[in-house]
Amino acid sequence: MEAVLMIDFGSTNTKVTAVDPGRGDLLGTATAYTTVDTGVGTGLAEALEILQKKTGPLHIVKRLACSSAAGGLRMITSGLVPALTAEAARLASLGAGAKIVRVFSYELTEDDICEIQTLKPDIFLLTGGVDGGNRDCILHNARMLAAMSDTEPFPIIIAGNRGASAECKKILAAGAVDRELLCCPNVMPALNKLNIEPVQEEIRRLFLRRIIQAKGLSLEQELISGILMPTPSAVKAALELLSMGTNKETGLGELVAVDLGGATTDVYSVAKGLPQRSVEVVMKGLPEPESKRTVEGDIGMRYSSAGVLDAAGAEKLAFLSGLSAEKVKSGVEYLGAHPEALPVLEEDAALDFALASAAIEIAVTRHAGTVEEAYTPVGRVFVQTGKDLTGVKRLILTGGAIIHNARADYLAATALFNSENPASLRPRDAEIYIDKSYILAAMGLLAETWPDMALSIMRKEIQAHGNRKQENQR
């Protein structure tokens, strides 16, 4: 049987998805533990073996792949003002599928340089100043980076004040080490005006050209010739397609999605996020991109389970799981040391449920905008920061801890508006969709060539579970 194979090299698992290109049907999916240390080909071979036990022998006519293995695409950004160019750089990087390990504002210090050398990013994004504005900060930071003598030089993308861009490149080119330098248009050419798409395209090209080799994926040349993008970019592409549709078929409309992983929790929204209140609302901060991704690098089910414990607290996890605080702490410690562990006992499943509930609530709260009351000479107004997602009617959940959980609809409720936190602009009443076959990343890859097929498969496979309201689940 002919098949198009989509491969997702993840931090914990390698996932494969097969599609019949003739009929446009999903043939099957399979998962195996990712073995980055011994070669990703081992995990892929195991996943393919599992897949073909379900489907029968497959004649693979095309292979497409994405990757977040070995930590994914790790980036550091720097800008001038935290809420402006530094935030624009962060949005550009996250939207391209990167994991931000550090954001610097203002002038870099010697301590900052030491931290950068320790973190060893895959890419550094250097920004600062609107066009025609401040030049001093970005030039200072270029000099600091130029003096750095790292043994594995990472590429630097320059995307700040266009009046300083060429000089920054000259400074860095004369630096202590030879590194790849790329110039892009300013991520914020004018105050509160974003231009992040050119940087995102450059990040993707760098990923294709350099990061694949750095992660060891090039050892399997016949398997990676079709690697297109980081996994989060593939998921984002699938969600944009599912929301907006194609020329032939309409999409679902505005949506919010949560991808709960072992190392991170990613939240996506494809929505304008404009104020939904009937009263006067004043917008604060940078304009939000309609298609937005945030990643919580400290929130996950295995590698980052300690981050969930830190953010939620042992008492809350104990309440959600029915376990003692001591058992919660020891369980989280075990999961961090054994990321491959699956729930076996009832209390293992209970802890997984608690971790998933808390991770989803924390991640969506951080992604959504907030609103607060303010008083002005003309009376009371509401000040909104970020996106107002209260009116979004579709919530999509994916990730192993959700897909394999019998209480997935209850997990979904934790993503919704909660009257205990009225300032958070999370969806109030949304229809829940579960990516039961774990195909979002695969469909993002498929959409590069066959968008109509990818949308049709998602409409069939991503199942609706009815409407939920967070207040009803308390």
What's the CATH code of the domain at 13?
Answer: 3.30.420.40
Same domain, 8 and 89: no
Q: How does strand 25-33 pair with strand 181-183?
A: unpaired
Q: Which of 209, 243, 262 is the last residue before a domain boundary? A: 209
Same domain, 188 and 304: no
Same domain, 16 and 160: no
CA–CA separation, 177 vs 150, rounded Å? 7
Same domain, 254 and 395: yes
Burial environment of residue 143 by CB neighbours within 10 A (0 to 12, 13 to 18, 19 or more): middle
CATH number of the domain where residue 98 is located? 3.40.50.360
Q: How far is CA 427 from the centre of its chain?
A: 19
Q: What is the pLDDT of residue 116?
A: 93
Same domain, 201 and 284: no
Q: What is the pLDDT of residue 322?
A: 94
CA–CA separation, 301 vs 127, rounded Å? 33
Q: Which domain holds residue 360?
A: 233-473
Same domain, 440 and 301: yes
Angle at the Cα of 363 from the Cα atoms of 357 and 365, rounded to 5 degrees: 100
Q: Which of 168, 194, 225 is the last residue before a domain boundary? A: 225
CA–CA separation, 170 vs 233, rounded Å? 32
Q: What angle, rounded to 10 degrees, do the helices at 346-367 and 325-337 form?
A: 80
Q: What is the pLDDT of residue 471?
A: 44
Structure tokens at 73: 């695409």
Residues 6+ apart with CB under 8 A from 148: 113, 116, 117, 175, 176, 177
- Contact yes or no for 394/430 (Cβ under 8 A): yes
Q: What is the pLDDT of residues 8-49, one digit of tens each?
A: 887 667 889 999 999 999 999 998 876 555 566 777 888 899
Same domain, 454 and 405: yes
Structure tokens at 381: 């107004």
Structure tokens at 231: 């996994």
Same domain, 267 and 396: yes
Same domain, 48 and 167: no
Same domain, 259 and 119: no
Q: How many CA atoms lie within 13 A of 87 on its CB side?
A: 14
* Structural domain count, the chain: 3
Burial environment of residue 165 by CB neighbours within 10 A (0 to 12, 13 to 18, 19 or more): buried
H/E segment holding residue 464:
strand 463-468
Q: What is the pLDDT of residue 236?
A: 93
- Which pTM value belongs to this model? 0.83
Q: What is the pLDDT of residue 473?
A: 42
Q: What is the pLDDT of residue 37?
A: 56
The series of mean pLDDT values per 10 residues for the chain, 474 residues long, is 88 86 93 66 84 92 79 82 83 78 92 92 92 94 90 89 95 91 93 88 78 55 61 92 94 94 89 86 85 86 90 94 94 89 90 94 94 82 92 92 82 90 93 92 93 95 73 41
Same domain, 57 and 128: no
CA–CA separation, 350 vs 113, rounded Å? 43
At residue 370, φ and ψ (nearest 5 deg) are -135, 160
Same domain, 469 and 391: yes
